[in-house]
Structure 1
Amino acid sequence: MQHKEFIILCLEDCNDWSNATTRRIVMQIDPELSRTIVVSTKLDTKIPQFARASDVDVFLSPPACTLDGFMLGDSPFFTSVPSGRVGSGQESVYRSNDDFKQAIYLREMEDVTALEEKLGRSLSTQERSRIGVSSLRLFLEELLQKRYMDSVPMIIPLLEKEYRSTTRKLSEINLELSSLDVVKLKEKGRAFHDLFLTKLSLLLKGTVVAPPDKFGETLQDERVNGGAFIGSDGLQFPHKLIPNAGMRLYGGAQYHRAMAEFRFVVGGFKCPSITREEIVNACGVEDIHDGTNYSRTACVIAVAKARDTFEPFLHQLGNRLLHILKRLLPISVYLLQKDGEYLSGHEVFLKRVASAFNNFAESTERSCREKCMEDLTSTTRYVTWSLHNKNRAGLRQFLDSFSGSEQSIVGGISVSANLPQDLSSESPGNDKQDTKSKLDIKLNHLALGIDSNSSIQTTETRLADLLDSTLWNRRLASSSERIVYALVQQIFHGIREYFLASAELKFNCFLLMPVVDKFPVLLREDLESAFEDDLDNVFDITNLRHSLGRRKRETEIELKRIQRLKEKFRQIHKQLNSNQAMLRAVRHSHHPRHCRRSVDSTSTSW
């Protein structure tokens, strides 16, 4: 019913037009009832219910405000259909369709008679034209005939347009058939190679030709389709905090947004919490003694935390960027089709190009991710202090403030934990290895709760007690725990900064750039090799020629059919114009002025 060309037949069974339920449903589709014919059924059962003639008048000619619109035909129709089946069975009332038609006609006459008796007058011509199934049928036939006649002048231009389109399609098929030779097919393949790469490069550089509502993805859609950045805590970074998160992007813009989200998430990731059990377990046993080395303990904890934290992000980044690159293929195809540069009909060749692009993207992403994994493995396997301890000044400030406030009570004697001044005021020109050694001494002294001056002044007995309570017995003091935690933080943050910079640089250099400078060469080599080995399989020439031949025959048949329709409707249009001209002539001959002129001329001749 939603089709605008359809006529709706609304059947009502009510005495009060203001309570018509079926009409309310129809008005949801046709609010003005402009293409709806309202029919009141079972008229023979309603007539006895009217007590006054005025009730019949209102029922036959309801006010316009009651009908809620301007219905097709201006007023309702009223019908009665006799009950009973048509057939030869015992339950059948009518033996044939003619008997049933006769019964309908008799019922119509009875309804007219009953209405005139109720009204006390004869029905007007307008009222009579609305009573009975025959009146409804006549109205529908005239309506359909009028619409058909009105549509004929519009059908001919549509057929002309369809004829031109089919003729052009037939010419294109003939052109394709004539171009199915080795040289022309190779030229087509090479030309498509260049055009495809041009569209690919255009998408990476930026374009607005492809509609974002069709090909763009918001950050939320991108996370669903390409995977989200989820840390070890299982939480996602709120997408609203990422720039352009709500915009539907594709190509280079989408790649840049994904990399920006990676920087936001990984760059803001803090070192996971450290437990006392982890510190004690990380102490372990040395190969030459079983004492504790808190520098080594911090390194063991930091690299383990960093590896477990950053490795999932690396895989997630690879999957996300691979998803973005693969989306370039359908968008490039759309741009080619939009510019009329698409090789329609050469499905085998197009699938080969698509497969080559997807395979290249997958292998390149895998290779790039392996390079990043090598960096992550190296930076979490061996701690290089010049690389990992990026914020050395911050660490010194922490240790200085810690040593100034921390007091260690050993054997009832308060021992100051101040750091050596020569280490804190070390000039930048000193040797780095010497700095590392002094820093290790400093940390070990803090872990023992004493400084270098107090260690010299302490008796051998006191030193033995200290070593026994800390170094040998593995009793973890709060000062030792805080120092290990500070070292782990520094190492973890150093690994994070290096991993973040290295991953972004490598994905740009070894994933994005190869699409621009490496893939064109590989695709050209693959196509040229296929052209030389088996051109028939690349373009599937045999099946293509068979398919084009079938399309040509179907198009020729369609062209002949349209031609016949054109001739038929042209004749109908010509006949309609002729009938209208004759009708105008007849009307003109019956015009009073024309008749008077004819009478005057006749009198003059007499």
Structure 2
Amino acid sequence: MTGIDQSSSNNSVVGGATSHHQQQQKESPSLSLSTSSQPLNKESIFLGDASSSSLGGGGGSGGFNYTNLTKEQQQQIQKIISQQQQQVPATPTHQKQQHHQQNHHSTGDMINTNGGGNYNSHHHQQQQHLGSGGNSAGSPSHQLNKAQLAVAEANALKLLEEEKRKRDEKKRKRETDEQWSKVIRSKLELEKKKLDDDEQKSYTINQELYTIFNDLQMISHDHSIPFETPELVVVGMQSDGKSSFIESLLGFQFNIVESNIGTRRPLIIQMINNQSKQEPSCRFKKECHLIDGTSIGSLEDKWEEHETPAEELTEEIVRRTNDLTGARGDRVSSFPIFLRVEFAHCANLNIYDTPGFRKGGDERLKYEILDMVKKLIEPKHRIIVCLEQSNVEWANTISRPLIKKIDPDFTRTILINTKFDNRVKELRNRESAHKYLEGEGIVTGKKIFFISLPLKRNLDPYKFKEACKECYLEDYRKLLEIGFDENRFGAQIGIYKVKEYVERHLHERYQQNLVPSLTSLENICRRTDKEIERVRKELDENNLQTLKFKVLQYVQGFNSQIERLLEGSVVGDPDKYGQTLEKELEQCCVQTWPNFNFGFDIQNAKFALYGGAQFERLLNELEYVVHSREFPETSINEVASAIGISKLHNSPIYELAATNIFQIKSKKVLLPLIDIALQRCSYIFKRLFDIGVSILSNEEYHTVSLYASFLEEFKSQYFTFIKEIEADCKTRLKDDFDTFTKIVDWNLLNGLNEIKQYNYIKVTPEETKQRVVAIMESNPIDESFEINTKSRRIDEETYRKVCMIAGKLFSGIRFFFSKFMRNKLNAFFLDPLFQKLGSRMIDHFSKLTDQKYQELFQSIDQLKILLTKLESQAIDCKLNRDKFKDY
């Protein structure tokens, strides 16, 4: 055939194919060149390479090669082909086409299975097949394959572009992540360097501050200048990390391993910065309730002679706690444990570690702990550190609402969330982090600190410090990874930010203490100069007869001052010598009232008192204590044993049984109060000695107080007098108590009026408090006192009735005992100070021999020593005054 014929033939074939294809489109509207509906198969992609010139492919070189795709891309294209084949109607023509395609499928699969095969060989086979007449170039099948080629190539290119986009996106993300990781690493390195630099800088600055503070504190102690060391009271629930937090401030670990450590007695840690102590030096204060014959004025010196190693602190704290509260863990005591720590890497600070709040359990124990902590955080000069675990939601916090009752605006409260590492890992993005770090229900402007501390124990101070850094940096890293606002929240993260805050507060407190201390130093300088003049004058006028006259004059003046202080006077400077009830309880070294943790409003408890006012406050406190005593639990065995039989008959006498139980129980409950009350009275009256001497020292003619030996003798006689009237009063009180309970006067009990009847056997703390408040603050209402006991069987009803009778008798004795105690203490303790003290002291010194006077007044030598001491003191005070002025 010629070229023209071939051309015509080809044109006719193409025209026929076109007409046939148009007819096929009419029969099957779903067939189109769109990528969403055109049926494709793997074979059409191979054929497409031969016909690519019609699509602008430029022959075999510009076409799309299926075999160059990855296995995953081939699978994706095959999926597209399968989906489009399902959309094509099964027309006869199409079925023939599918049969044709299936043949090539098998061929293509075979080639593909053999590693892709040779594309040119496959193309040649396709050309032979198309030229054989079975499927000519102008056939509908060929036209369909060209359309499928376009769709397949477009889809494949789209897949390649998508794959490239994903690869580029992953690359960009990887590069971004790597860059951000570098930024985070850089920030962490800078932060670690900053911590090290700040630590060294802070160490240098603080050393100067601590040196000045130590000097100021020492001078204040030597000259009795009021000086308030900054105090932190750490509060929180059990297991909130109070001990670990305190360790971080101390700079070393206690090696605490018991969860109940220090939970039943407050632990007061007196931190002292001492550059000579590169290892912690720890001393406990002697337990005052175990010290016999404690002399007033020397309590601050009652520290143990030996040091306690840091690794033994836990054991010693547990031992001291159990000694006072028992080992069962069901009792607490407000009597604190004192621990003094001297260390080169700690601040000058007092820390109160309090028993943890409890959520459930023993209600009485829970109430006692809450009341104890309230008393410790009430003083306005104390900073409250409120700890809460970070994994506790804001709405479920317990400690913060309790603190808010004492410090409503959190003006002196530091809020700290501990164990932050448990929470920070749950923060997934910037928004969740910010929402948590802002907190909920916080006063505007109040920030919360978030800290994590090492879990590992037995670390030496250096490793412990490094572990604290690692904990902080790990939290910081996790927050950086989620992109938290560092400028906004960075100052709240980590124990180091807490330390910075505390140190700033210490600086403020030191400045506040400096001004009044300077004023006091000025006064001391003037007073010392005046004292020097008195000593020099005394040296010029010293002789035995003059001294005797001055002694009697001094004794009379002292007695007059004691009477003034008892009757009421501010001559003794209450701001200096007065004591609040809390301070009295802390310094008196007398056993605390047993089981007395109700938080009653004792009169003038928060005021600094001395003398008669302090004694009257004690009597009011004693009444509250007596009324808070409850009839102790009585077993049915005790009741059965108490009933017994009479020597005249075997009829049970329940009144006799109740009386016996009442007598025994009353002595057990009430008698211990007598000893405590008397010791407290002695403490109050012994304090008057120093106050009286201080008043007389301001009067020029009372110069005998310059002689230390005379003052020691005078003090000894005064304390002996107090001891004698204490012993006499104790004998009278106990004898009268025995007489009062020996024979029960039932008619006397008829005069007792309770506000209302109540269960005398089992009483809740709240019921006790309501009853005592009603007795102390209201007028009683008359009620009849009835006894109705007819049962002869020792059963539950009989047991209950006998206990109720005994409880009723106890309530009567309790009421009269409170009045009886007040009356006896006034008559046999207070009154002798008015009536007998002066004559007793004058009589003693009037009978002293001349030799004894010479021993007491070794005038020349003693006065010269005193003069030298005063002159040295004057120089020292003036130097310190000038030094602090410069600061």
TM-score by length of 2: 0.34
Larger relative contact order (Cα-Cα within 8 Å, sequence gap ≥ 6): 1
TM-score by length of 1: 0.49
Q: Which has the higher helix share?
A: 1
